[in-house]
Every structure is written in C-alpha cells, then in structure tokens.
Structure 1
C-alpha cells in the first residue's frame, strides 16, 4: 500500500520551509567561503645570484587600516611575518618565489609592509662555511608613475676575510652593497622602495654579482705583499690577528677552511706559484 504525503499539512509545510532555508543558507555560506578563499594578489621576486649564493625572503605584514590583529597572547600585534624560500632554483643561478601583498592570519587582514632578503654565501667545503648579509625593500602607498617591468635592482657582494678561534681558521663574511649606474659599489645597502599600486602580478628582480677581489675584514690588520696578504700580530701579546704596527710582526700560520696551514692569503704559501 502506497502512502501519499500531503504537503498541505501544516507541520509538513513548516519542515519544507525550514529545509529550503537551510539549503539557501548553506549555498550562501559556500559562496561567501569561496570569496574569502580567493588567493591574495602577489608579485614575483626573482634573483640572479653568483655561484654558491642563494636568496630567501621574509615579508613583514602590519594590520590593514581599521583592522586589529590579535596574537597568541591575546594582545594586538604590530607585525606578522611570512618566510619565503624557493623549493627549487629556477636555474643554476636564479631563484624565485611569490610574495603575497596581503595576509589573513590571526583572523584579520594585514598588508605587506616590507620585504627583507637574506643573502647567503658559501665559502668553504662544509655546511658551517656559510655567512649571511641582508637587503631590504619598503612598501610605499604613495601613488606613482608606472614603472618598468620587471623592476631591476643591482648589487654586489665582496668577501671579507679574517681569522677566528684558537686555531686561527680563516672565515669569510660577505659585504653586499648596491651598485650605481656605472657599476660601482656604493656605501648603501641593497634595496629600495616598492610602490604598492604597481606590485600586483609584477616582477621585482635582483641582479647580484660578487667582487673578484677579497679584502681583510679589519682594515689595517693585514699587509698586502706580492705573495698575498699577511696577518699582523704582536700588539696585545697574543698569537691572534691584531692591528699592524711597525716593525711588522706576522702570524706564524693560520688555517684555511679545508684545514691547510698557511702563512699568506689566499695563496697559502709564499713560494712561487
């Protein structure tokens, strides 16, 4: 025997109405959710790097105008951070990553305030033989004239060497600075100002080179000779690298990163090459 449902019944009518409302609200929630999940606008950061160098980034985000962002402590926070590390180099000497212009952590909207780059160079055979330098880009909200695409910044790193530790191992520190239009190294750090209204879907590029000549980390602590740099000592009565004073007294030896005992840098030995 078949049973026919009378939709004109009052109770059934209420159930049907509630079901329709639930479906509509669910569809509306899905629509809103779909909008909130729209990927943020981004720009591409790209770096051409010398051999044994790489670049990673840290984006600093601040609350959007009118927003209050709450940290884990329950107190408003001023700056949130996202870290960018390329999974695979685009080529052997190029790295690339996407930088969002907005972020929605902590249940609020925040906007990109600045981008810090970490420039890391390897100078020896071991994993510990790496040193870092930084570059910084600020984000400006001022309206501006259209810029060229991609926006290209040029910089150069110079290795500075010194001895360190009781065994006087050579370590190297990169000093990275901006290059001017003539290709000369300036005193200012690598970086600049980026216009927010020009960044979406654009490319910002850093072309990084390395100087052919290395210099002592401490000026006046090494003497350059025809055979190479010699480290001075004797001022403070230690066997370590110290300021040069006449009559010059030099370290008996120091160690290269690969463990060799040397008397001059970078040739290691003062014998004819």
Structure 2
C-alpha cells in the first residue's frame, strides 16, 4: 500500500512539474518574440535590443556592470557567401536593479563587402521602434514582416580616383506603416509570442553617391572631368564630352562603370 501511495504521489509530482514547465514556456513565449532576419549574400548584421523603463515608472536603467547590461542585449549574424537567415529570440521586457524595463528599439548595423580588400566595406543602420498598445488599435496583420532594400552608391576618391561604395538601406512598402525611411514602429503587445521577419534585399542597380558627377550612357556610367584630372569633385556642369578614367577596387584602370571598358 505504501509503495502504491509513493508511486501515485511521484506521478502527481511529475504531472505538476510538467504543468509548471508548460506554464513557464507559455510565459516565456508571451514575453518575447522571434526576429527572423533574411540577408543577401555577403551581408552580416549586428543587432542591439534597447530597453527603457516601463511607462509610468520613475526608475532609471542601471548602468552597465561588466558584461551585464539590462538596458541592452546584443545579437550577431556573421557574413556568408550565400543568402542566409538568422533567428533571434528577443525579450520584450527586462529588469535591472528592480526597475521594470520594456523593449524600446532594435537597432541593426548592416555590413556588406564590395571588394576583396579589408576596407572594401559598406555600413548602414536601420531600426525598429516598439511602443505601448494604443486604444482601439487594430491587430497587426499576420505574418508580420518588414522589408529593407539596400543599394550601393559609388564614387571616386583620391588622386588615383579609386571606386569606393557607400551602402544605403531604406524601408520599402509593407503591411506595417513606416514612420520614415529607417524606422518602423510596432506594438509590443501585438508582437508577443509571434514572429517578425525583416527581409534585407540588395538592389541590382547602383547609382552615383553625388549628383552631377557621372553621366549615364548605354554602356554604363562615365566620370565627368570637372576642371581637370585633379579635380576631386569633378562636377559635370553641362560638359557631356570630357571624362576621366578611374580605378576599380581590384586596381583595373577603367573608363566606364561598372563594365570597366566600353
């Protein structure tokens, strides 16, 4: 009889622990979301989740102590020669020194290579803002998704006129409203337990970084002469006949971009 009672008690304990574990998972899921980031080949990202005191709280975010910083959590995805997808579990709240914190912003640092050299690197930044649920707010569409299109802006630098590129990423139309070209705003409540996908794409077209410095022809872009070969700005100023050569990142001498030769 004692053995049977012990067995029954142990079985009840296991059931109770399972229920607590399931509830714990449910609470964890409700207090976080999955951030899926789709990247083109050659791209890498570093993300920072930034937390602020919950609305109505008078406490402050505690300062960083060693590697611990309740107000900031870092997420990384390294580069790959192929397109890749990163999955991050982002907490919607945090606590520091008894101060209740909520997710305020997720900042992306986007890096991409355009050449083999170490400095042949472009970088840009984009953010997602999070806010309290508004009264009578409509549920977010499912699945939740945001899109960022990146493009290369090219220019020449130095007396040898080497091509260098600047990476620029902007938001493009999605079911979620965009406040501006770099930031989206989403309700934390509507995001709890869900998946948000941020898709980065790379435009096939490149364009000059500075206006009135290149002229586009059927065979490609030609670099305007400006006042002379040493003119660093080299504005066209209506001169559509005089151009100067430049060098690709790999050292090739070229007269038209991106095909190099006409």
Query: What TM bracket, shorter-length normalisation?
Result: 0.7 to 0.9
Distance 1:175 1:87 in 2: 19
What residue in structure 2 maps to residue 58 of structure 1? 48
Distance 1:46 1:109, change over 3 A: same
Distance 2:53 2:222 in 1: 53
Pairing 1:199–2:186 present: no
Pairing 1:95–2:86 present: yes
What is the aligned counterpart of 2:115 among 124, 127, 149?
124
Q: State the TM-score, normalizing by the size of structure 2.
A: 0.73
SS at match of 2:141: coil
Distance 1:172 1:155 in 2: 18
Distance 1:72 1:230 in 2: 52
What is the aligned counterpart of 1:147 among 128, 137, 140?
140
Shift of residue 152, structure 1, vs aligned partner:
0.8
Shift of residue 175, structure 1, vs aligned partner:
2.2
Shift of residue 107, structure 1, vs aligned partner:
5.1
Pairing 1:112–2:103 present: yes
Distance 1:266 1:181, change over 3 A: same
Asked if the contact 1:61–1:114 (Cα under 8 Å) also holds between the matched residues in 2, the reply is yes
How many aligned residue pairs are there?
Answer: 225
**Where do 5+ consecutive residues of structure 2 fail to align?**
1-23, 65-69
Give a deviation string over 1:182-216, Cα, whole Å, max 9, x none.
9xxx9941441111112222111112222211111
What residue in structure 2 maps to residue 6 of structure 1? none
Give a deviation string over 1:218-255, Cα, whole Å, max 9, x none.
1211011232211113338734342112434322x222
Shift of residue 257, structure 1, vs aligned partner:
1.2
Asked if the contact 2:145–2:174 (Cα under 8 Å) also holds between the matched residues in 1, the reply is no
Alignment RMSD, CA only?
A: 3.2
Asked if the contact 2:159–2:230 (Cα under 8 Å) also holds between the matched residues in 1, the reply is no
Distance 1:127 1:187, change over 3 A: farther
Distance 1:187 1:137, change over 3 A: closer
What residue in structure 2 maps to residue 216 of structure 1? 208
Query: Rg bigger for which structure?
Result: 1
What residue in structure 2 maps to residue 162 of structure 1? 155
More strand by share: 2
What residue in structure 2 maps to residue 26 of structure 1? none
What residue in structure 1 maps to residue 166 of structure 2? 173
Shift of residue 169, structure 1, vs aligned partner:
1.5
Distance 1:83 1:166, change over 3 A: farther
Distance 1:60 1:173 in 2: 26
SS at match of 1:104: strand
Shift of residue 265, structure 1, vs aligned partner:
0.7
Asked if the contact 1:177–1:187 (Cα under 8 Å) also holds between the matched residues in 2, the reply is no
Pairing 1:47–2:42 present: no
